[in-house]
Structure 1
Amino acid sequence: MRHIFAFMLITIYSSLSLAHQETSGKELLQWLSNLPRHGIEVSADHWLAIAEDQSESTALEIVQLYSKYLDRGRLDKRYFQPGWTIPSQPQYSSPHPEIPQIKDIQPNIPEYQYLIKALNNLKLWNKSAYQIFPNELVLFKGDIHPAVSLLNQWLMALDLAEELPNHIYSQEHKDVLTSIQLKYKLIPDGRLGPMTRQALLSITNQRIRILKANLERIRWLPKRLPYPRVWVDIAGFTTSYQSSPQRAFHFKTIVGSPKKQTPVLKSDIENITVNPIWKVPHSIASKSLLKEEKKQPGFFSREGFKVYKNWNDNSPEIAVDSVNWQALTQKSFTYRLEQQPGELNRLGKFKLGFKNSHGVYLHDTDKPELFDSANLSLSSGCARVNNIETLVETIALDQGLMPELNNYKKSNSPKKLNLNKHIPVYIVYFTAWPDKVGRVRFRDDIYQLDNALVSWF
């Protein structure tokens, strides 16, 4: 009710008082009224402040505040997603006597526009669903009705279906709606009726909030992203190499499990290692690998691990069979394990290195069949990239390093290829993101990072 009251006040104010003001007063109100398109709602308190204080200065102050929100985000990422360490690059930094242009301060990446389009499309469905699908309309399998094609559009906008038959209510429609009915504990008859329409509206409202949350995440990014860049989309299980707006390569990717999450970060890829050595993190060596050695004695030798007495750089190598592994526990495990290059090496043939405090990197795998798994969030934090050799060769080709790479590939020992120009790498987390053709897809919140952010909207 308070939002309605505020809207009524500002409508009266704009129609009566602003008629006598300069054009800038109307422009300020128009500027604020455009913000919901971007997933930013002007608070009732701010509308009331403008209505009560009939001066342009108040409206301009509020516009300047929301300009900062549009520029760098309204919410503090340190509280709403503490692991987000990608630095932003605000463009709008100080009050300005002129009205800022939205196009100059909004994120300048194509995905932002796709999410805006999806957001406003779902808002239209929210408003029109009752008229398009009135209470008396019930669709059964085999029904021919003009509302079917509109239902198709709604389901696709919600990312609940792919292409469906037009005009005739088919088994495919019934299957989609039955799954929705089961989720909302409705009678699973697969029919479109008032209760199922309400379930679709509930999903629509939730999707709107998810889109607003992910638009906010985009505002936490730098305003413009460089080319070339490597983009690791955690929730989308995809790594992309984008050398220009028109040239991009995409690779299926295995990411960290919910207990060992792949971190959100920005860094620069400095080198490519061919035949990498896996320096096993202590947490993995002392837990899962020690468990395997105890279960299958000789595991370390068969898998090509070298053992070092401790974690000092000058620590001596010791014989694998000189240690009583059965007597060790996770707490008493002080050794360093390094797996040598070869077919069994967990990192596979290639590793892309970049500085970060988490010790993660992009790498190949010794088990490519895992990319066919239904669950791709199963690594210990690093990103395993399918067909990584294509990614490596594309980068080397772009940097004129193919001769060196080809020579290194002939070797069985570790070889580090330093890039001529470092490539920015962004590891990001978005639960709504456009696909290759611009259709927004909604992803599972695999790390449960949406809860606080979505609830705010």
Structure 2
Amino acid sequence: MRRLFIALITVVYSLLSQASQESERKEALQWLSELPEHGIDVQPKHWQLIGNTPTKDQIREVVNLYTWYMDAGILNRHYYQPGWTIKDVATSPKYSGLTPPLDRISPDVPEYKHLIKALKQLRNWKRNAYSLFPNDFILFDGDSHSSIKLLNQWLENLDLADDLPDDVYTQAHKDVLTEVQLRFKLVPDGRLGNMTRQALLSITNERIRTVKANLERLRWLPRTLPYPRVWVDIAGYTTRYQRNPKDSTTHKIIIGVPHKQSPILQSEIEKITINPTWKVPHSIAKSLLKKEKQNPGFFLREKFKVYKSWDDNSPEIAPDSVNWKAVTPKSFTYRLEQQPGELNRLGQFKLGFKNSFGVYLHDTDKPELFEKERRAFSSGCIRVHHVKALVETIAKEQGLASELKAALNGNYSDTLELKKKIPVYTVYFTAWPDKNGRVRFREDIYQLDNALISEF
């Protein structure tokens, strides 16, 4: 009797264990099926493993792996984007059950949801374009058709057009499609036909990979970011001072040229210098030597002090005491410092933060460059348009308005130490939502997408 009881208990336990395991398997399958919405594709071997009869340990191992992917990214950031120096600490959210809610481990920034939405829209076009715009469907100038509105939505989701007429096929439509046709070496007739649809599908696939790559970049950041913060959007040529998710001010910026890229980093703004002195980096000093050779007296006119060497205690020498024509870039050992004033390359303000690249945010002596659409002109530092307004805002919020006013009236170099350091992030995203939530696709200025996109 006792043996029968033990056997019965064993059977019941086995059945309950199997039921529990089957429940966990189904939960894991459902959870994994939601990951592609976030730009994470589940590997076939993991689908196969969970789809068969996995052990509990195998189920948990797969779930833990993709939990890590959602939190910290799929790819090694140091391999696919070597210049990425922003640190990320993996989170350990508390939750009950086998699978963590995806909204507890995905990036907690508003832009993430907009990128997810854009990915869904692009995938819908990829899936439905053939049925919506069949092979025998062609639009000509002046045509009216219900599909024109759909075409407009597709072109907007691809970030190829804005505000096209919904009721008639116009020259504006033709201009957009002509650009697409020229890109793919098609007959540039501006009509929507079979080959042009294929070209749009090709762009759709490119956009999908770009969105997935930028979702990956978001996962490389800390899941939550502090407020207030300064957000330097390199590829978007803008910086934002973000007080909270709904309150921010935006400024145009000038970034580093491709061969002197503005770095991707995380730091804290500690001080603001008014009327700064520009201590010229050695690499830039050599380029200024060329200007002195071409225009003798350049150093004097531009108010540069010249020091005999890079030693901090080296003596100052008169710029006209050196035969600059005889100096070569290789023999150039002098240190240059440009004095405060209207000619100073840093302008009136410098926002300093610790980093290994020697870069900072600053004003400029050439504000006309902010009128350019493509603004990669600097040697790595970030020049900020209307930086005075940003400085005044920070000073006011930190109770330093009177000190700032006194420094500005004094017309001399002065430094304000911030009472509370402000986190600053310089980042690089080639797909990013605008203020209305619509995802815009940017030029890959520094060619940082190539390796990353190849994995998606």
TM range (shorter): over 0.9
Partner of 1:165: 165
Partner of 2:13: none
SS of the residue corresponding to residue 258 of structure 2 reads: coil
Q: How does 1:368-383 map to 2 (within 5 A)?
A: 368-383=367-382
Give TM-score, length-normalised by structure 2.
Answer: 0.94
Q: How does 1:270-349 map to 2 (within 5 A)?
A: 270-286=270-286, 288-349=287-348
Q: How does 1:67-106 map to 2 (within 5 A)?
A: 67-92=67-92, 98-106=98-106
Percent identical residues? 62
Partner of 1:43: 43
Q: Which amino acid aligns with 1:39?
A: G
Q: Check whether the contact 1:71–1:92 (CA below 8 A) recurs between aligned residues.
A: no
Q: Which amino acid aligns with 2:314?
A: S
Partner of 1:121: 121
Partner of 1:240: 240
Partner of 1:151: 151
1-structure distance, mates of 2:309, 2:93:
50
2-structure distance, mates of 1:323, 1:376:
35
Partner of 1:395: 394
CA positional deviation for 1:174: 0.3
Q: Check whether the contact 2:93–2:105 (CA below 8 A) recurs between aligned residues.
A: no
Partner of 1:8: none
Q: Check whether the contact 1:147–1:167 (CA below 8 A) recurs between aligned residues.
A: no
2-structure distance, mates of 1:415, 1:423:
19
1-structure distance, mates of 2:95, 2:50:
18
SS of the residue corresponding to residue 107 of structure 1 reads: coil
CA positional deviation for 1:60: 2.6
2-structure distance, mates of 1:148, 1:169:
7
1-structure distance, mates of 2:75, 2:96:
22
Q: Which amino acid aligns with 2:300?
A: S
Contiguous gaps of at least 5 residues in structure 2: 1-17
Q: Check whether the contact 2:25–2:50 (CA below 8 A) recurs between aligned residues.
A: no
CA positional deviation for 1:104: 1.0
CA positional deviation for 1:97: 6.6
Partner of 1:444: 443
2-structure distance, mates of 1:337, 1:54:
68
Q: Which amino acid aligns with 1:90?
A: A
Q: 1:452 to 1:96 in 2, by over 3 A?
A: farther
2-structure distance, mates of 1:145, 1:58:
54
2-structure distance, mates of 1:336, 1:98:
62
2-structure distance, mates of 1:86, 1:272:
23
Q: Which amino acid aligns with 1:334?
A: T
Q: Check whether the contact 2:25–2:54 (CA below 8 A) recurs between aligned residues.
A: no
Q: 1:416 to 1:389 in 2, by over 3 A?
A: same
CA positional deviation for 1:52: 3.8
Q: How does 1:203-218 map to 2 (within 5 A)?
A: 203-218=203-218
Q: Check whether the contact 1:64–1:95 (CA below 8 A) recurs between aligned residues.
A: no
What are the superposed Cα offsets for residues 331-379 of structure 1, whole Å, 9 maximum, x if unpaired? 1000000000000000000000000000000000001001112330110
Aligned length: 439
SS of the residue corresponding to residue 338 of structure 1 reads: strand
Give TM-score, length-normalised by structure 1.
Answer: 0.94
Q: Check whether the contact 1:272–1:416 (CA below 8 A) recurs between aligned residues.
A: yes
2-structure distance, mates of 1:195, 1:27:
43
Q: Which amino acid aligns with 1:33?
A: S
Q: Which amino acid aligns with 1:406?
A: K
Q: Which amino acid aligns with 2:157?
A: A
What are the superposed Cα offsets for residues 144-182 of structure 1, whole Å, 9 maximum, x if unpaired? 000000000000000000110002111110000000000
What are the superposed Cα offsets for residues 237-274 of structure 1, whole Å, 9 maximum, x if unpaired? 00100011221000000000000000000000000000
What are the superposed Cα offsets for residues 275-307 of structure 1, whole Å, 9 maximum, x if unpaired? 000000011111x20010000000000001000
1:226 and 2:188 aligned: no
Max radius of gyration: which structure?
2
Partner of 2:201: 201
CA positional deviation for 1:94: 11
SS of the residue corresponding to residue 259 of structure 1 reads: helix
1-structure distance, mates of 2:132, 2:233:
36
Q: Check whether the contact 2:24–2:59 (CA below 8 A) recurs between aligned residues.
A: no
SS of the residue corresponding to residue 410 of structure 2 reads: coil
Q: Which amino acid aligns with 1:168?
A: V
Q: Which amino acid aligns with 1:327?
A: A
Q: How does 1:430-441 map to 2 (within 5 A)?
A: 430-441=429-440
2-structure distance, mates of 1:98, 1:114:
28
CA positional deviation for 1:96: 9.0
Stretch of structure 1 that moved more, 146-155 or 55-64: 55-64
Partner of 1:367: 366
CA positional deviation for 1:308: 0.6
Contiguous gaps of at least 5 residues in structure 1: 1-17
Give the superposed CA RMSD: 1.6
Q: Which amino acid aligns with 2:141?
A: K
SS of the residue corresponding to residue 260 of structure 2 reads: coil
CA positional deviation for 1:19: 9.0
Q: Check whether the contact 1:229–1:423 (CA below 8 A) recurs between aligned residues.
A: yes
Q: Check whether the contact 2:28–2:50 (CA below 8 A) recurs between aligned residues.
A: no
